[in-house]
């Protein structure tokens, strides 16, 4: 067997043996056996001294080539083994991804807060300030300054929780408007939104609550008109019930506004065709509004020959009930967590 | 106000249906609650009973042969009053009666029956309007096959208006006719009654002795015959929701419905004098009203007297002693105007609301007082054979001058946002029957006396607006320019709600009114409280001192429904402390759980504390401390703490006292409450960013043994002080009690982190600082290195 045949035999043997190695440890042994200081090539190199000088370079080249090839076999096998190891790890680590995840609690804001914040944001965007005031109010702020003197028949419309003769639980958030007008001293325009809790002497049932949430709006300026009121209410209707609403104003009566109107919004459920939410009329009644009665402006220091105002008031629970088909107003106050957590915000 | 369309169409030129008219009323006048047919039945004819025999197999049934116009129909009838020779109402086969009841050809105990002979109730007339049981026997002239509804004047539609307090004018058919005329722009057909009186003088003297009676008119009618009023009048009263009684009472009610002017008829022979004197009642005066109730009066009630004794409660109800009855012969008819405030107070105090008081308290048209009187006496003449004595006697203190309101085209357009011309506005005023003059820009409108609610130009704006149509107003946004924004505290509260929900708590909303007994359940000392004067129930009586009262109810409610894991908060008020805003909450149950991995975390004190710490951290509240607290009677004295910052106590946290929890069927509930304003004012909002330290940190862990009663806060305070600036962090990472330690000992393991912003620390100096810390711990707290 000549030298090149010998090298060929080593190469072939190496190829065969390396290809069946399964572990890194064996592969390292094999590398030492072939290419290490005491490896097989040591024996081969010993043959070199017996070769004629002119063949020595050829032999060296051939030997190096063979070493390189064997090294390549080893590296190829190393890749295969590494892949196999990773594959095995992956197999071992495979989980049932359909098992439930760990729960991270996220609470929900109360539906009343969600709606109030939504309406507040709309009006802040239109340049309104959000104003709040006390719930324990004076008869003067809650009634008298709103064109509801004692003995006014319309006081019967709002049965009141009195605390003393002169103090009461506010029946609407209008006293906040009175306070704001007094604060501004009749001198500057007003654009405010007043959300808050209000109280009426009602027996609690599916549609009545002795406590509820109201949002009122007030604009006072030298240019204010019914048309501006109508435009503003349409914005709110579109925000709360989706774009494309229509609004309808019907004559009504409130002591604090003149003209006074009831405001209907085209039904969001049936788009005006008539359904059980709008009781077949195509319209849902959502709020009351009007131009501020001059007596109200004057009582709070605004010159009614110069200034005009519009105001509107909306019951938030009623709005939510219409929007989500809720049939019992008490659900907002019992706070069954299965009810509250349906509103995800 | 329920309006008979037949009645309405007698006063205004139109043939519109109730449905169409109601659509227009909704948009231009007043809300219409509903419209309906007075009798909602089909396929009815007049039948003539030609033969009646007893049913062969049933004692109480009769077999009738009924001529229904060109054919004889056999009908089995159960009414005892059916008889041969009667004209009756027959619903033929195929008829649908009130409530959807269908008439079919049938066999009743073997005898064929083709229809039904009806009572008024079966036609859908409310029982409260009907006196006789049994079938209705028609007394009017008619023949078989005729339409019985037309003969009985029951072919009518009703429009039920829901009238707002200002539109008292719509409490009369005349008023509704006026608005109908305006909306449809059609003429009115009002008639002036013709009064045929006899020569005999009216003997009555009228004296008004109180300013609360504005006018009083009296007329006397003799020789009246009491009987039923005509069918048409009865059915119009029924349509209006008023029960027919007899011709006299029905006429006074009918005229009231038409004109809005309440009338009252006295039996003149029972009056006891020829004097009518109106005065205020004496305090404590007793009086028996028509409904046989003895009433105790006050000096705010108006009474009509015979100069001595009260005979009527003015404007509210007549007296029992002078009531018109069978056999009454002479009547005195009253048409008067009273002070609305007195009427309102009287009817409210006595809980006595009559058709009269409803109208008086909302102000009637004083110009219809005489009209109504004349209308009624002419009807008495016609339908009760009465002889009308000459003239009415009266006293009248009303100023009938008509107020004028000045406005302008510009003012109306400015208010409505419209661009109407003066001619258009004038035309609307014409349709409204408002007399007016136009002088260049100024519109002078004479206020009609029927509109007692109108006072200012804004009322004119409203009238023009509603008739022009609010649907035609343009839609624009206010031109007012202003800065829209939330206040700092509004943003802070929103922020709190965002963080709390982010930390896993659900927001709740509870009632502000609670039972008085619960007022100091979550206050440190006896709470003062605000009570409402007339609560709806004992449980909603006083304003709460803490949202926790309501939150406890929420937890109870949910626990009872198997919602055991509850983490809730509310931003509410302490109403007893000037409506101070507080953040309150309660947690109980499993805070986290992954069942299949066998891990779960039950809410304990430290869960809640951790949540609050995260909240504080996110709100820039950097120096919050917890201090053991025993001051709240319903909190566990060993598991409660004050929460403090620089400014002092800002709130508390604690476990419900086991006894309190048990009394509410609760277990392991942790609560907290924080004052929002204090949190807002003690924030240290980031102004300038802190450089990140580029030198490495060095950590050392120590474990010390010390007395169990020494708090972690005390330990950490000592460590922080001893560690000086070099120590940047000290965290407890283990707590151990038990063998081999003594019973009153514990071991704490604490991780210390050291660093310097200017250089890398050397091992030696860190070790030395740790030794110093241990030395001071030993000296101050007798803590030994373990």
Give the range among A10-19, B24-33, B668-677 with minimum mean pLDDT.
Answer: A10-19
Q: Of B48, B55, B67, B52, which is closest to residue B108 (Cα–Cα)?
A: B55
B590 - beta bridge partners?
B602
Q: Of A78, A52, A61, A76, which is closest to residue A7 (Cα–Cα)?
A: A61
Which pLDDT score is estimated for A49? 77
Is a pLDDT exceeding 90 seen at residue A67?
no
User: Could you give the 3-state DSSP secondary structure of residue A128?
Assistant: coil
pLDDT in tens, B400-425: 998 999 999 999 999 999 999 999 99
Check if B592 contacts A (Cβ < 8 Å).
yes
Pair of tokens at residue A260? 């006074």
Average pLDDT over residues B322-336: 93
Check if A138 contacts B (Cβ < 8 Å).
no
Q: Among A109, A226, A234, whose Cβ lies nearest the Cβ of B465? A: A226
Which pLDDT score is estimated for A55? 79
Is a pLDDT exceeding 70 seen at residue A156?
no
| Set of chain A residues whose Cβ sits within 8 Å of the Cβ of B530 | 136, 163
Which pLDDT score is estimated for A1? 60
Which pLDDT score is estimated for B216? 97
Percentage of chain B lying above the pLDDT 70 cut: 100
pLDDT in tens, A163-181: 999 999 999 999 999 999 9
**Which sign does the torsion angle of CA B111, B114, B118, B124 carry?**
positive
Determine whether the interchain pair A107/B485 forms a contact, defined as Cβ–Cβ distance below 8 Å: no
Residue B265's region, left for phi above 0, alpha for psi from -120 to 50, else beta, is beta
Cβ(A269)–Cβ(A278) under 8 Å? yes
- The overall average pLDDT reported for chain B is 93
| Set of chain B residues whose Cβ sits within 8 Å of the Cβ of A225 | 414-417, 476
Average pLDDT over residues B275-292: 95
Domains of chain A, by residue range, sit at: 3-93, 111-340
The number of beta carbons lying within 10 Å of the beta carbon of residue B264 is: 27
Determine whether the interchain pair B480/A335 forms a contact, defined as Cβ–Cβ distance below 8 Å: no
- C-alpha span between A26 and B11 (Å, rounded): 116
- C-alpha span between B171 and B451 (Å, rounded): 12
Check if B362 contacts A (Cβ < 8 Å).
yes
From B456's Cα to the closest Cα of chain A, the distance in A is 9
**Which sign does the torsion angle of CA A128, A129, A134, A135 carry?**
positive
- Identify the closest residue of chain A to B341 by CA–CA distance: A151
From B610's Cα to the closest Cα of chain A, the distance in A is 14
| Set of chain B residues whose Cβ sits within 8 Å of the Cβ of A333 | 509-511
Which pLDDT score is estimated for B80? 86
pLDDT category, A318, cuts 50, 70, 90? very high
- C-alpha span between B162 and B33 (Å, rounded): 6
Which pLDDT score is estimated for B608? 97
Is a pLDDT exceeding 80 seen at residue B308?
yes
3-state per-residue secondary structure call for B209-274: CCCCEEEEEEEEEECCCCCCCCHHHHHHHHHCCCCCCCHHHHHHHHHHHHHCCCEEEEEHHHCCCC
Query: Could you tell me where the DSSP H helices lie in B580-727?
Result: 605-618, 658-663, 676-681, 712-723
* CATH code for the structural domain at B44-151: 2.40.50.140
From A84's Cα to the closest Cα of chain B, the distance in A is 30
Which pLDDT score is estimated for B635? 96
Could you say which of 3.40.50.300, 3.20.20.70, 2.40.33.20, 3.30.930.10 is the CATH number of the domain covering A111-340?
A: 3.30.930.10
Q: Among B414, B509, B532, whose Cβ lies nearest the Cβ of A162? A: B532
Which pLDDT score is estimated for B84? 87
Q: Which of residues 537-556 of B touch A (CB under 8 A)?
A: 540, 543, 554
* Angle (CA) B767 B769 B775, round 5°: 105
Please name the fold of domain B2-38+157-184.
Phenylalanyl-tRNA Synthetase; Chain B, domain 1 (3.30.56)
| Set of chain A residues whose Cβ sits within 8 Å of the Cβ of B483 | 127, 129
Phi, psi of A241 (to 5 degrees): -120, 10
Cβ(B766)–Cβ(B723) under 8 Å? no
Q: How many residues does chain B have?
A: 786
Class of domain B197-396: alpha beta
The number of beta carbons lying within 10 Å of the beta carbon of residue B578 is: 9
Q: Among A107, A132, A259, whose Cβ lies nearest the Cβ of B461? A: A259
Question: Could you give the C-alpha distances from A92 to A86, A89, A98, B8, B85, in angstroms and in order?
Answer: 10, 5, 17, 90, 104
Asked if the domains B404-471 and B488-681 are classified in one and the same CATH topology, the answer is: no
| Set of chain B residues whose Cβ sits within 8 Å of the Cβ of A224 | 478, 480
Which pLDDT score is estimated for A157? 58
pLDDT in tens, B343-402: 999 999 999 999 999 999 999 999 999 999 999 999 999 999 999 999 999 999 999 998
Q: Among B473, B477, B561, whose Cβ lies nearest the Cβ of A336? A: B561
Sort strands A190-199 and A129-130 into parallel, antiparallel or unpaired: parallel
Is a pLDDT exceeding 90 seen at residue B519?
yes
Is a pLDDT exceeding 80 seen at residue B131?
no
Cβ(A227)–Cβ(B474) under 8 Å? yes
| Set of chain B residues whose Cβ sits within 8 Å of the Cβ of A197 | 512
Query: Is it true that the peptide bond before B674 is cis, omega within 30 degrees of 0?
Result: no
Q: How many residues does chain A have?
A: 345
Q: Which uninterrupted H or E stretch holds B332?
A: strand B331-338
Determine whether the interchain pair B482/A127 forms a contact, defined as Cβ–Cβ distance below 8 Å: yes
Which pLDDT score is estimated for A4? 77
Average pLDDT over residues B111-128: 86
Average pLDDT over residues B613-637: 93
Determine whether the interchain pair B507/A113 forms a contact, defined as Cβ–Cβ distance below 8 Å: yes
Please name the fold of domain B488-681.
BirA Bifunctional Protein; domain 2 (3.30.930)
User: Could you give the 3-state DSSP secondary structure of residue A226?
Assistant: helix
- C-alpha span between B426 and A167 (Å, rounded): 46
DSSP B375-435: HHHHHHHHHH-PEEEES-EEEE----PPPEEEEEHHHHHHHHT----HHHHHHHHHHTT--
pLDDT category, A62, cuts 50, 70, 90? confident
pLDDT category, B649, cuts 50, 70, 90? very high
Pair of tokens at residue B495? 């922020």
pLDDT in tens, A108-121: 999 999 999 999 99
Determine whether the interchain pair B165/A258 forms a contact, defined as Cβ–Cβ distance below 8 Å: no
Q: In what order do the strands lie in the sheet with A211-221?
A: A129-130, A190-199, A211-221, A308-315, A283-292, A257-266, A247-254
Determine whether the interchain pair B531/A293 forms a contact, defined as Cβ–Cβ distance below 8 Å: no
Q: Among A104, A108, A227, whose Cβ lies nearest the Cβ of B501? A: A108
Check if A133 contacts B (Cβ < 8 Å).
no
DSSP B531-572: B-SS-SSTTS-EE-S-THHHHHHHHHHHHTTT---EEEEEEE
Domain B404-471 has CATH 3.30.56.10: yes
* Angle (CA) B736 B737 B742, round 5°: 135
pLDDT in tens, B567-594: 999 999 999 999 999 999 999 999 888 8
Is a pLDDT exceeding 90 seen at residue B446?
yes
Class of domain B698-785: alpha beta
| Set of chain A residues whose Cβ sits within 8 Å of the Cβ of B167 | 253
CA end-to-end span of chain B, whole Å?
A: 91
pLDDT in tens, B187-219: 999 999 999 999 999 999 999 999 999 999 999
Which pLDDT score is estimated for A63? 83
Which pLDDT score is estimated for A13? 87
User: Could you give the 3-state DSSP secondary structure of residue A325?
Assistant: coil
Question: Mutate which of A139, A250, A281, A294 to test chain B, going by most B C-beta atoms within 10 A?
Answer: A250
Domains of chain B, by residue range, sit at: 2-38+157-184, 44-151, 197-396, 404-471, 488-681, 698-785
Check if B513 contacts A (Cβ < 8 Å).
yes
Determine whether the interchain pair A228/B530 forms a contact, defined as Cβ–Cβ distance below 8 Å: no
């Amino acid at each position: 067997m000549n030298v090149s045949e010998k090298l060929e035999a080593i190469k072939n043997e190496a190829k065969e043996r390396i290809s069946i190695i399964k572990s890194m440890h064996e592969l390292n042994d094999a590398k030492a056996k072939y290419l290490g200081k005491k490896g097989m090539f040591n024996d081969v190199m010993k043959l070199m001294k017996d070769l004629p000088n002119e063949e020595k370079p050829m032999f060296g080249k051939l030997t190096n080539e063979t070493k390189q090839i064997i090294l390549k076999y080893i590296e190829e096998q190393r890749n295969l083994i590494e892949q196999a190891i990773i594959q095995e790890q992956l197999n071992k680590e495979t989980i049932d991804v359909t098992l439930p995840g760990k729960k991270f609690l996220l609470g929900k804001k109360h539906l009343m807060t969600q709606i109030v914040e939504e309406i507040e944001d709309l009006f802040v965007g239109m340049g309104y300030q959000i104003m709040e005031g006390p719930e324990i109010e004076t008869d003067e702020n809650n009634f008298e300054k709103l064109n509801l003197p004692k003995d006014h028949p319309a006081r019967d419309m709002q049965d009141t929780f009195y605390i003393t003769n002169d103090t009461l639980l506010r029946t609407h958030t209008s006293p906040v408007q009175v306070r704001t007008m007094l604060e501004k001293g009749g001198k500057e325009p007003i654009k405010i939104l007043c959300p808050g809790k209000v109280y009426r002497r009602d027996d609690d049932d599916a549609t009545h609550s002795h406590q509820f949430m109201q949002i009122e709006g007030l604009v006072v300026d030298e240019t204010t008109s019914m048309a501006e009121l109508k435009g503003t209410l349409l914005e709110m209707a579109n925000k709360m019930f989706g774009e494309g609403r229509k609004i309808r104003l019907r004559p009504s009566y409130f002591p604090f506004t003149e003209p006074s109107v009831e405001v209907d919004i085209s039904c969001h459920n049936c788009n005006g065709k008539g359904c059980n939410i709008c009781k077949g009329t195509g319209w849902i009644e959502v709020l009351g509004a009007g131009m501020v009665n001059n007596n109200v402006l004057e009582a709070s220091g605004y010159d009614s020959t110069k200034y005009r105002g519009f105001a509107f008031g909306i019951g938030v629970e009623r709005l939510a009930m219409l929007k989500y088909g809720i049939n019992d107003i008490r659900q907002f106050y019992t706070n069954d967590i299965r009810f509250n957590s349906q509103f995800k915000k | 106000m329920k309006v008979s369309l037949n009645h309405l169409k007698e006063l205004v030129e139109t043939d519109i249906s109730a449905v169409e008219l109601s659509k227009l009323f909704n948009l231009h006048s007043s809300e219409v609650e509903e419209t309906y047919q007075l009798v909602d039945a089909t396929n009815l004819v007049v039948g003539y009973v030609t033969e009646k025999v007893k049913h062969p197999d049933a004692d109480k049934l009769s077999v009738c042969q009924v001529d229904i116009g060109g054919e004889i129909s056999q009908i089995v009838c159960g009414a005892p009053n059916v008889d041969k020779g009667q004209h009756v109402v027959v619903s033929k086969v195929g008829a649908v009666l009130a409530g959807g009841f269908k008439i079919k050809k049938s066999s009743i105990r073997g005898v064929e029956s083709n229809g039904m002979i009806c009572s008024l109730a079966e036609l859908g007339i409310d029982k409260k309007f009907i006196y006789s049981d049994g079938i209705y026997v028609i007394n009017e002239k008619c023949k078989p096959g005729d339409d019985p509804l037309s003969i009985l004047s029951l072919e009518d539609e009703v429009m039920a208006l829901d009238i707002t307090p200002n539109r008292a004018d719509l409490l009369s058919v005349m008023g509704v006719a006026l608005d109908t005329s305006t909306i449809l722009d059609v003429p009115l057909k009002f008639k002036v009654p013709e009064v045929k009186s006899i020569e005999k003088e009216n003997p009555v003297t009228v004296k008004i002795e109180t300013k609360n009676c504005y006018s009083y008119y009296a007329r006397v009618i003799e020789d009246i015959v009491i009987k039923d009023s005509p069918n048409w009048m009865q059915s119009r009263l029924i349509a209006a929701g008023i029960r027919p009684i007899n011709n006299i009472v029905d006429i006074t009610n009918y005229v009231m419905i038409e004109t809005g002017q309440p009338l009252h008829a006295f039996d003149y022979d029972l009056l006891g004098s020829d004097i009518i004197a109106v005065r205020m009642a004496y305090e404590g005066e007793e009086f028996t009203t028509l409904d046989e109730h003895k009433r105790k009066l006050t000096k705010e009630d108006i009474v009509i007297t015979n100069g001595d004794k009260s005979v009527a409660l003015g404007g509210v109800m007549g007296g029992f002693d002078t009531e018109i009855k069978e056999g009454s012969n002479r009547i005195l008819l009253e048409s008067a105007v009273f002070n609305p405030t007195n009427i309102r107070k009287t009817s409210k105090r006595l809980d006595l609301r009559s058709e009269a008081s409803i109208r008086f308290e909302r102000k009637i048209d004083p110009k219809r007082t005489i009209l109504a009187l004349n209308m009624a006496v002419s009807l008495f003449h016609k339908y009760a054979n009465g002889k009308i004595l000459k003239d009415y006697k009266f006293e009248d203190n009303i100023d009938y001058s008509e107020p004028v309101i000045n406005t302008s085209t510009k003012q109306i357009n400015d208010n409505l946002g419209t661009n109407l011309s003066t001619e258009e506005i004038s035309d609307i005023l014409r349709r409204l029957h408002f007399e007016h003059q136009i002088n260049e820009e100024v519109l002078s409108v004479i206020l009609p006396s029927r509109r007692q609610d109108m006072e200012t130009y804004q009322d004119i704006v409203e009238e023009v607006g509603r008739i022009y149509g609010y649907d035609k107003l343009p839609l624009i946004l206010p031109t007012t320019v202003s800065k829209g924004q939330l206040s700092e505290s509004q943003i802070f509260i929103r922020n709190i709600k965002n963080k709390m929900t982010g930390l896993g708590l659900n927001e709740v909303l509870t009632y502000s009114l609670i039972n008085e007994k619960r007022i100091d359940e979550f206050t440190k000392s006896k709470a003062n409280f605000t009570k409402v004067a007339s609560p709806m129930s004992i449980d909603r009586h006083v304003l709460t001192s803490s949202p926790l009262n309501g939150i406890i109810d929420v937890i109870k409610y949910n626990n009872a429904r198997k919602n055991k894991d509850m983490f809730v908060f509310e931003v509410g008020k302490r109403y007893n402390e000037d409506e101070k805003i507080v953040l309150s909450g309660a947690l109980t149950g499993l805070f986290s759980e992954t069942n299949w991995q066998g891990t779960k975390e039950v809410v304990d004190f430290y869960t809640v504390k951790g949540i609050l710490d995260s909240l504080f951290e996110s709100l820039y509240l950097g120096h919050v401390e917890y201090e053991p607290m025993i001051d709240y009677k319903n909190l566990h004295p060993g598991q409660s703490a004050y929460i403090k910052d620089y400014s002092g106590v800002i709130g508390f946290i604690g476990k419900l006292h086991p006894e309190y929890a048990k009394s509410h069927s609760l277990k392991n509930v942790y609560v907290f409450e924080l004052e929002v304003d204090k949190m807002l004012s003690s924030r240290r909002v980031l102004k300038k960013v802190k450089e990140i330290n580029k030198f490495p940190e060095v950590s050392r862990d120590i474990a010390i043994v010390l007395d169990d009663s020494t708090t972690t806060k005390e330990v950490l305070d000592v460590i922080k002080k001893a560690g000086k600036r070099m120590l940047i962090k000290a965290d407890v990472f283990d707590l151990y009690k038990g063998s081999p330690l003594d019973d009153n000992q514990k071991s704490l393991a604490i991780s210390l982190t050291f660093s310097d912003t200017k250089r890398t620390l050397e091992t030696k100096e860190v070790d030395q600082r740790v030794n110093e810390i241990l030395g001071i711990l030993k000296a101050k707290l007798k803590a030994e290195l373990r």
